[in-house]
Chains A and B, each alone.
Chain A
Amino acid sequence: MDTGNAPSAQSDGLDPSLFEQAEFDPNAGERSGYSNYSYWRSTFRMFLKRKSALFFLIILVAILAFTFIQPLLPGQKSPTTIYQDPATSMQYRNVEPGHEFWFGTNSIGQDLWARIWSGTRTSLLLGLTVGIAEMLIGITFGALWGYVRGLDRPMTEIYNVLDNIPTTILLMLLAYIMRPSFKTMVIAMCSVGWLGLARFVRNQIVIIRDREYNLASRCIGTPTRRIILKNLLPYLVSVIMLQTALSIPGTIGWEVFLTYIGLGLPVNIPSLGNLVNEGRLIMMSPDLRYQLIFPTTVLSVITISFYVLGNAFSDASDPRNHV
């Protein structure tokens, strides 16, 4: 054996006893390959790294919290009471924002500040309810549609028929038929909105249903229900949450639209739609414009927040960005 240039024993400071054979533990090798990657932890990190996402998250949470806290603060006014000047018994109509009424009053004397927060609460609640209901219906339909091969054809036909019905008209029809109320709005929006999510879920499932791990589950006899719940849906959580997040401002937008054409929530329930509508009616007079600006600003902030958050989450939850 020719080992020409080995270092001399004195120069490298290694004890000669180190040159004995070491004990061999076969399991030591098993442990060394551990990778500590966690999908959700990485998603969270990527999400928080985006300063804009953090910013809007804080704003949205602040708004949401405030809509619940506001009625509990001292000195708040009721959103529906018509306020009268005790001295003149005249209604405080169209009072500009000032010390007494922070956001002013509307044309019949209601406190705009209270109305805005109450309205925001209602609209957000509507958006969330519709979002969740759509999610449940859409996922169920979409998962079955995508996974059960026999259902693909008939469900696609149903989808094509339903998709061709103009959303606007359907919404208007449903809102018109049923009495105006919160429940009506929820039902109407859900009836229209689940279709998009179902299609989306179906497409995603078609992509992953023939992956090897699903074949393996079939091979060991896992029933369809459990394959959908444990194999397929967990992969779709992030994209479904994204879709739902984006649908909330959409729902609020529809609500505003329906209110415009008089088919929205009843007038006695303040909502952003009602407020924007009321503001619209008097927007031509410059000193009353505040009645439009305040609700519109709140609506815009909410919409922008959801979009930014939704997109940031979507980027963060893509494993390819986890670097």
Chain B
Amino acid sequence: MNDRGDRQKLLEVKDLRVNFKVKGGAFTAVRGVSFDIYKGETFGLVGESGSGKTTIGRAIVRINSVSGGEILFKGRRISGRITRELDREVVQNIQMIFQDPMASLNERAKVDYIVSEGLYNIGKAKDEGARRAAVQKALLDVGLLPEFASRFPHEFSGGQRQRIGIARSLIMEPELVVADEPISALDVSIRAQVLNLLAELQRSMGLTYLFIAHDLSVVRFITDRIAVINKGELVELAETEELFARPLHPYTRALLSAIPVPDPIVQRQKRVVPYDPAVHDYSVQAPSWREVAPGHSVLASDEELARYRDALERGDTLAIV
């Protein structure tokens, strides 16, 4: 357990709201999400499709615009309208890794251009020799051969393409990297490569990750803390092992029970617990974000909060996986 008091808050998301205009009004993708990310940690954001997790990631890198609340980076607001210099700082310090390696690279450009594209934008590509050296280093850092720079994306496999995408982000030397489902579209055996790479880069470059995923079992391996999001709202947030040992919110429990475990005997004995929103009775009081134990918060009403606290005190067996 680390003392969080002295760790720097790199990113603060405060009551974030994002609406999209669709036919017939507005669709609220993110409704009042708040969390902090500390320097050096890997923060997992887990949810199913439509939960709003990708929207949050994109709002942080300013691809999506924010309809309410704010996002702070190192204490300064980076959401909404900001100055050009601040925008430039965001570009340099916060980068994104995209999900689909088949769609996230420019097919008509050489790997050389793709990887160093960012350098052109921040004015660091003036010296051709330095630029090429930077590209070489970036490719080597992600485990690719420097000779790949003169080739086109279609000549590479999914895993290699994803690494090119990672090189593209890293060449900017960011502090925070938003990884939006970076391994979901990859083959199983390649996922391990990329996860190892991400972990290694974090150590060597001192990166902080926001790791967005839908697969809790993958996230367990790489994250320090996890937030579970359902339909635009956070339902639970805790340190990783704490979340797996003592999942409290019914949605978290349903999610955990639904993940198939690659162990036939264990899997066949598992019972899937479906999530039924009707299990909450919010007619009397709307739920709010409460701290159940230090570092462990849940979306709950007073009544549920009391129940959760009791369960924790009694030391009930809550673990599902």
Contacts and interface: CB of A to CB of B under 8 A. Distances in A.
Same assembly:
yes
Interface of A: 27, 30-31, 33-39, 211-213, 215-223, 226, 230-231, 234-235
B63 interface: yes
A211 B96 CA distance: 14
A213 B121 contact: no
B172 A37 contact: no
Contacts of A223: 121
Given A34-B155, A213-B106, 6 more contacts: A30-B144, A30-B145, A33-B156, A35-B155, A220-B117, A235-B107
A211 B104 CA distance: 7
Top 9 nearest A-B pairs by Cβ distance? Answer: A220-B118, A234-B108, A221-B121, A221-B91, A212-B104, A212-B103, A33-B157, A212-B98, A213-B106
A222 B105 CA distance: 14
Given A212-B98, A213-B104, A221-B122, A33 B160 contact: yes
A148 to B, nearest CB: 15
Contacts, number: 81
A44 to B, nearest CB: 16
- Provide the main secondary structure of the chain B interface: loop
Given A33-B156, A37-B154, A213-B105, A222 B117 contact: yes
Contacts of A231: 106, 109
B257 interface: no
Contacts of A218: 63
Given A221-B91, A221-B118, A216 B168 contact: yes
Contacts of A211: 103
B99 interface: yes
Nearest to A235: B108
25 contacts: A30-B143, A30-B145, A30-B160, A33-B156, A35-B154, A37-B154, A38-B152, A211-B103, A212-B98, A215-B63, A216-B96, A216-B105, A216-B168, A220-B117, A220-B121, A220-B168, A220-B169, A221-B118, A222-B117, A222-B118, A223-B121, A226-B120, A230-B109, A231-B106, A235-B108
B212 to A, nearest CB: 14
Nearest to A217: B117
Given A213-B104, A231-B106, A220 B95 contact: yes
Contacts of B157: 33
Contacts of A30: 143-145, 160
Given A27-B145, A30-B145, A30-B160, A219 B104 contact: no
Interface string B79-115: 0000000011001000110111001111111000100
A226 B104 CA distance: 17
Contacts of B109: 230-231, 234
Contacts of B58: 215
B44 interface: no
B121 A215 contact: no
A38 B152 CA distance: 9
Nearest to B91: A221
A222 B143 CA distance: 26
A34 B154 CA distance: 9
Interface string B103-147: 111111100010001101110000000000000000000011100
Contacts of A27: 145
